[in-house]
Structure 1
Amino acid sequence: MDRNCHKSVNHELTVCGAHPVYFQPERNGYGIIGLISADQFSAESIRNKINGSALALRASSPDAEYAVITNCTYDGLIYDVAALTEKLGASTPRIKFDEAWYAYARFHPLYRGRFAMDVPASPRQPTLYAVQSTHKMLAAFSSASMIHIRNSPRAPVDYDVFNQSFTMHGTTSPFYPIIASMDVATAMMQGREGRTLLNGAINDSIEFRKTLVTVGNKIKQDIPGDWFFDVWQPERAEVDGDSVPFIDVPTEQLANNADYWTLKAGEAWHGFGEMPEGYAMLDPIKVTITCPGLNAQGDMSEFGIPAPVVAKYLDMQRIIPARNGDYTLLILFALGSTQGKWNTLIDLLMMFKRYHDDNTLLRDILPEVCRSDERYTTLGLADLCREIHQANGELNIARLSDRACALAATPVMTPSQAYRHLVEDGTELVAAGDIMGRVVGVMVTPYPPGIPMIMPGEKVTPEAGAIVEYLVALQTFGQRFPGFEHELQGVEIDDNGRYWVRCIKESALNPSLYA
């Protein structure tokens, strides 16, 4: 299973009683989740993972039966799915691609070969599933989703059995407008209309990228050493054999040539390690705005603009980024985005800079924040940014986040067994700083980066001590800056800002359950 999975995948493991082992995706210095390195998909690597897992001892088969891969990632990184399927398929007969944020890929040639249903058919191909949240990026109502299947004789799907299973998790009283909205979304994407709609979103995202970088360049040219926001994307590109600034490449070329968006090994802008040629691609319609203070290698600078402060300001202006990291903001260009909307965003970012540089009082621009803590009423915007940036450095938030998500707790029981303890009153709340040596009963996921640090049934060992350090650091940060607490799923916060994690009661642990 991809460690960068949606929580519904954990629920899937729980319902099925699965014995999971995990692929570990990369992360860069910004906390952006990368792809799983290609070497992890080899049959040998998967066999080693299984042999090294205590859960394999009680599994019904020693072989991999099913794999789940997130494609594309929330931050817009896309696999070469054809190459991935060939490599992973050598050991695994079923592969599900979580394409929740990627339902549009079929409708533009930019994404050719990079989505599940576009993999060339072959007799030994695994059965492929693609699960798409149609409502996220296409024109369907909330909760509208689709499952696509490419069947294979190697692991055939009996559709009658599949439908019986599906109805168990559905309702006998469906909300028909949701179903109708999927028909509408499908009709909108048929024929040339779908290509036209997606062309508009891609072109708008590229023009936004160019405009934001151009504004930043102009500000820094007029006043050397000044600051503005930037975009996470290549800095230069090759056109007709010449290296030119990325923003100088014609939009038409950027919108139709995937080579411009392919990550190259060793390039500093993306912050990831070695990778095969063409392995990873950045989706242009998922735009990550970067703030001063941190680079893709995780190095902090003396001056910084924490993204949560920017997000609070944008929220006051009724613009909600899809997600913010410590120094990044994610903007999605879904169908229907317009130049007027993204021009407004750039105007607001310029206004934020003006308020910051003037150190405008928070009570005048962020009154909602001031309600969280009275001391904010005497601070200016620059004061708050400086304090939060300094705290990020003192608490070592970026480095601890990287270490905590790179380390794996030790599985001692399946998610299904952990869930049984949860519903049978076999868990208790334990202070975050005291979970060392405990078996956790819930999934603990910090946002950013969105990778579960701990899965249900995993034990926090000394080797994974950075997990405890990171949770304590986030607790300290949240107590120091009310209103700017990090989002954490699986952690309960009391009235004093203390973090608690639900762990399996030691008295309830029965070695026979997970021996």
Structure 2
Amino acid sequence: MNLHSQKGKLPSIRDYYSATQLRADRWSALREAAEGLSRHGTEGRQGKKLLATAEHLFDVLAPIECYWAFPGIHAFEHLRRLLHHGHTGDLSVSVRRIARALTSGAYRRRSIPLSSEEIDNEDYEDEASLAPEARALGRPYFEVLIVDDVSEPQERFLRQNLLRMRRTEDPFIYEPVIVPSLEDALIGVLFNYNVQAVVVRPGLTLKSKIDLPILSQYLTRVSEEEDVDAIEPHEYGPEACRLIAKIRPELDAYLVTDRSAEDIAGLDLGRCRRVFYNQEDFLELHLNILRGVGRRYKTPFFTALKEYSRQPTGVFHAMPISRGKSISRSHWIQDMGAFYGPNIFLAETSATSGGLDSLLEPRGPIKEAQDMAARAFGAKHTFFATNGTSTCNKIVVQSLVRPGDIVLVDRDCHKSHHYGMVLAGASVVYMDSYPLHQYSMYGAVPLREIKHALLNLKAAGKLDRVRMVLLTNCTFDGVVYNVQRVMEECLAIKKDLIFLWDEAWFAFARFDPTYRQRTAMGVANHLRESLRKPETAATWEAQQEELKGASEEVLLKTRLVPPPDARVRVYATQSTHKTLTSLRQGSMIHINDQDFKGEVEQSFHEAYMTHTSTSPNYQIIASLDVGRRQVELEGFEFVQRQIESAMSIRRAVSDHTLLRKYFKVLTAGDMIAEEFRESGVEAYYDPDHGWFDTWSMWSRDEFVLDPTRVTLAVGGTGWDGDTFKTKILMDKYGIQINKTSRNTVLFMTNIGTTRSSVAYLIEVLVEIANELDEKLDDASKMERRSFENRVSALVEHLPPLPDFSRFHDAFRAGKETPEGDIRSAFFLAYDEDNCDYLPLDDKLMERLERGEELVSASFIIPYPPGFPILVPGQAVSPEILSFMRMLDVSEIHGYRSDLGLRVFTNDALKSISKKKS
């Protein structure tokens, strides 16, 4: 984002999505203004203009800096006095050092001298550019938020006494930030990502005096669900702890109170780690703060692996590469050793050799690491996987589903789920997501569709066989379910229903308050609490009375309430390596199932043994352990920056006249139908209105759009999505993406995305648009017509996406409900005599239109869009055949272009029908 507009003015506050972006840019602008004042002075037209700019920047930054320890409000006010007294040289030096330290992160590593009389010879390298060895030697830095409305002398007393407790042997270093009120505490923990601990003291007040919309908007997230104004003065401390835990559950809280232990014992203090009874024991507080952060910093398995690598060991087991011996003794593969370095080989061993824990039967550091991951992600149990979420999905399905169980499945989910259904022998009911024909992609399964499937099975007397609902949250394209509403309404129909949420692309969501409310584990914990409340039982009983004898249509339109004895049975599979820090194929299974111990644990263990390698990669396990540490300590910061990066892309494309000519960022209004958007909000950003409030969308709408995924419609360039990805972005500019549709490409920001990366992407898009402009300016009439035809084919003439047709009767148990035996169809195709191949020509279409039944013998999965349009046992419809014939993608898994479509012979279908009868 440019610091100045074309007219040389600062962007207004409304141009910014977040206060952290505003803060960074305002400090950079203040540095420019201070340096200008140092050169020109405060007199003359230029000087007065710079002075006015500097004063304005100080006014904007003043309320912001109250929430940060560096440079700190006292240093900030000192800078203001320098400006007021005309000491522009000193001001320039101090502001330059602060701005550079904020950008580089140097303040986290060392003390930054602000006075021009102090020499600062340290370089200002970006913290991320330092060698890992250099960074590992330093002590991690964090900030402690102290909530107390104290006078300046008292504040100085608190600050100095707490800092006086610091010792050189402390593993971490921190600085305190003092705010006066409960509301300021909530703003602080949502705004200042450096905060790792909060100390709530008895002198706090309720209301904040800050009047800056970009800051006060943080309170909207809390006030919509909590009546903060109704909190009584004696409740300020405990309620502050509870609310902080609700929005930032990873933080440690400490309550200093003068209330009796009996009064405090019965209150909800969130995740308060210690209560101090009206005493100024600064050493004990200091030690508790360090201990609390150390609890999250601990990495049991990574630490054990490092210790193992330092031990002298004689290798007499089946791993020549262990300790690097087979490499160091080699004359031909020394380059491998040089490339990877020694540590990866020193840390390579086998579970059977001893010294480290076993992934299959963990009792030591792996078990401890998994328990810590469960805590971090809000699960009751967490299991690591070293061969991806595809395997996680199969483990969960096989452990929960028995042959003949009915499972409701999102039809366009990842192919591993479909294969899991085959392995488990499930009777599958495929549910269709709403289609986005104009972009050749699917959205998600409407709640009405899910309820209809359940009610249909209930009417047929088959509800007892329904075992699980399996959905993808969020989808590859970023459509996110209202997880709470889905689970509540489904449990209202079947109270022991199991939910498997494929969160392969959503592992990061736990660490942002807005996202967390739509995660499987977040909602599972909420349901556990809400179902125990007396008002839940009363509401359910009232609704049962009201809905007596209600038709299906009434039930479909009603927001159903779950019974108080409903069981919370929730599983989530996450690709840690896709959205958080982990080596490739590092994934986790999170479980929040009230019946896991009694019913599932043994079968889960067997399924885990079935699919997990006996020789797992220890480096992947270690990376999962470290990745958990990272998100507990800085996940909030990184996810915040990730969202900001994506929002910057949205704003840049939407505001740029030339880019809008050829590109369009798809909005929630484009990807989610109006009927699913109760809030009525169509976009996160609009050039005419600025930013819209995201909280109302995420708290109310049936579906929302994950802003970290930016889907760019590229049909206006005349290139299809795959060509634009490969020939333009990757080959020409080195920009990597992995998801396209016929006329879109998907840019996914992640916790490693930088503002520089965003700037480069925008530069590339502008360059592409300029080249298209120049090419069209010089084009002949026929060339222009050719371009317009290509655009029209990509924008207007798109093949409609087909729905799931049905399973053939040979693989169904009756016609009243749609479930199918996918396992029988899959293995029937193992005998080539049962199959035939048919070319996708007009004759085949004629046969279908005459009513002939053709049944797929394979999974047919075109890339893109990457979901099965046919599964074994599914009847081929004219719509599916038409879609396949119009596809122009290079990959169609399960289809042989030299032979045609693989289908069952009539004799094979008759034989399976006879066996059933």
TM over 0.5: yes
**Aligned letter for 1:318?**
G
State which of 629, 633, 650 in structure 2 corresponds to 1:209: 650
> Structure 1 residues 150 and 391, CA, compared in 2 at 3 Å: closer, same or farther?
same
Secondary structure of 1:493's partner?
coil
State which of 886, 889, 892 in structure 2 corresponds to 1:473: 886
Deviations 1:3-23 (A, max 9, x none): 121100011100011110122
CA distance in structure 2 between the partners assigned to 1:154 and 1:174 by the alignment:
25
CA distance in structure 1 between the partners assigned to 2:488 and 2:858 by the alignment:
34
**Aligned letter for 1:232?**
L
Secondary structure of 2:430's partner?
coil
Secondary structure of 1:459's partner?
coil
CA distance in structure 2 between the partners assigned to 1:51 and 1:441 by the alignment:
31
> Structure 1 residues 384 and 149, CA, compared in 2 at 3 Å: closer, same or farther?
farther
State which of 301, 309, 328 in structure 1 corresponds to 2:723: 309
Q: Is the 8 A contact 2:434 2:442 kept in 1?
A: yes
Secondary structure of 1:140's partner?
coil
Match of 1:296 in 2: none
> Structure 1 residues 392 and 233, CA, compared in 2 at 3 Å: closer, same or farther?
closer
User: 1:310 Cα shift?
Assistant: 2.1
Instruction: Judge which range, 228-237 or 427-436, deviates more.
Output: 228-237
1:287 to 2:722 alignment: no
State which of 478, 481, 484 in structure 2 corresponds to 1:82: 484
Match of 1:325 in 2: 741
Match of 1:68 in 2: 470
User: 1:471 Cα shift?
Assistant: 1.3
Instruction: Judge which range, 503-512 or 181-190, deviates more.
Output: 503-512
**Aligned letter for 1:113?**
Q
State which of 666, 671, 679 in structure 2 corresponds to 1:232: 666
> Structure 1 residues 50 and 152, CA, compared in 2 at 3 Å: closer, same or farther?
same
User: 1:106 Cα shift?
Assistant: 0.8
Q: Is the 8 A contact 2:658 2:769 kept in 1?
A: no
Deviations 1:210-250 (A, max 9, x none): 111112xx338xxxxx823121125899x9x9x99635777
> Structure 1 residues 75 and 227, CA, compared in 2 at 3 Å: closer, same or farther?
same
User: 1:341 Cα shift?
Assistant: 1.5
Match of 2:827 in 1: 420
Match of 1:127 in 2: 569
Q: Is the 8 A contact 1:322 1:332 kept in 2?
A: no
Match of 1:299 in 2: none
> Structure 1 residues 47 and 345, CA, compared in 2 at 3 Å: closer, same or farther?
same
> Structure 1 residues 445 and 412, CA, compared in 2 at 3 Å: closer, same or farther?
farther
> Structure 1 residues 95 and 382, CA, compared in 2 at 3 Å: closer, same or farther?
farther
User: 1:384 Cα shift?
Assistant: 7.1
Using structure 1 for the length normalisation, give the TM-score: 0.75
> Structure 1 residues 329 and 208, CA, compared in 2 at 3 Å: closer, same or farther?
same
Instruction: Judge which range, 450-459 or 421-430, deviates more.
Output: 421-430
CA distance in structure 2 between the partners assigned to 1:227 and 1:12 by the alignment:
45
CA distance in structure 1 between the partners assigned to 2:471 and 2:684 by the alignment:
35
1:401 to 2:800 alignment: yes
CA distance in structure 2 between the partners assigned to 1:439 and 1:341 by the alignment:
48
Secondary structure of 1:331's partner?
strand
User: 1:337 Cα shift?
Assistant: 0.6
> Structure 1 residues 131 and 381, CA, compared in 2 at 3 Å: closer, same or farther?
farther
Match of 2:696 in 1: 259
Deviations 1:51-80 (A, max 9, x none): 78xxx9xx9x86311110111111111111
> Structure 1 residues 124 and 328, CA, compared in 2 at 3 Å: closer, same or farther?
same
Secondary structure of 1:405's partner?
coil
> Structure 1 residues 514 and 40, CA, compared in 2 at 3 Å: closer, same or farther?
farther
Is there any run of 5+ residues in structure 2 with no aligned partner, and where? Answer: 1-408, 532-564, 671-676, 777-781, 812-820
Q: Which has the higher contact order (CA 8 A, sep 6+)?
A: 1
Deviations 1:377-405 (A, max 9, x none): xxx997875454455589x4x2x332x23
Q: Where in structure 1 do 4 or more consecutive aligned residues deviate above 6 Å?
A: 248-251, 380-384
Deviations 1:425-461 (A, max 9, x none): 343332234384221122223344444322211122x
State which of 254, 260, 278 in structure 1 corresponds to 2:701: 278
**Aligned letter for 2:482?**
D
> Structure 1 residues 451 and 244, CA, compared in 2 at 3 Å: closer, same or farther?
closer
Q: Is the 8 A contact 2:473 2:506 kept in 1?
A: yes
Superposition pairs for residues 481-500 of structure 1, below 5 Å? 485-494=889-898, 500=900
Match of 1:196 in 2: 637
1:99 to 2:538 alignment: no
CA RMSD of aligned residues (A): 3.6
User: 1:205 Cα shift?
Assistant: 0.8
CA distance in structure 2 between the partners assigned to 1:74 and 1:245 by the alignment:
21
Match of 2:384 in 1: none
> Structure 1 residues 513 and 140, CA, compared in 2 at 3 Å: closer, same or farther?
farther
CA distance in structure 1 between the partners assigned to 2:488 and 2:741 by the alignment:
34
1:502 to 2:899 alignment: no
**Aligned letter for 1:452?**
P
1:25 to 2:459 alignment: no
Using structure 2 for the length normalisation, give the TM-score: 0.44
> Structure 1 residues 488 and 135, CA, compared in 2 at 3 Å: closer, same or farther?
same
Identity rate, percent = 25
1:111 to 2:553 alignment: no
User: May I ask how many residue pairs the two structures share in their alignment?
Assistant: 435
User: 1:406 Cα shift?
Assistant: 6.0
Instruction: Judge which range, 199-208 or 313-322, deviates more.
Output: 313-322
**Aligned letter for 2:701?**
G
**Aligned letter for 2:729?**
L
CA distance in structure 1 between the partners assigned to 2:635 and 2:809 by the alignment:
45
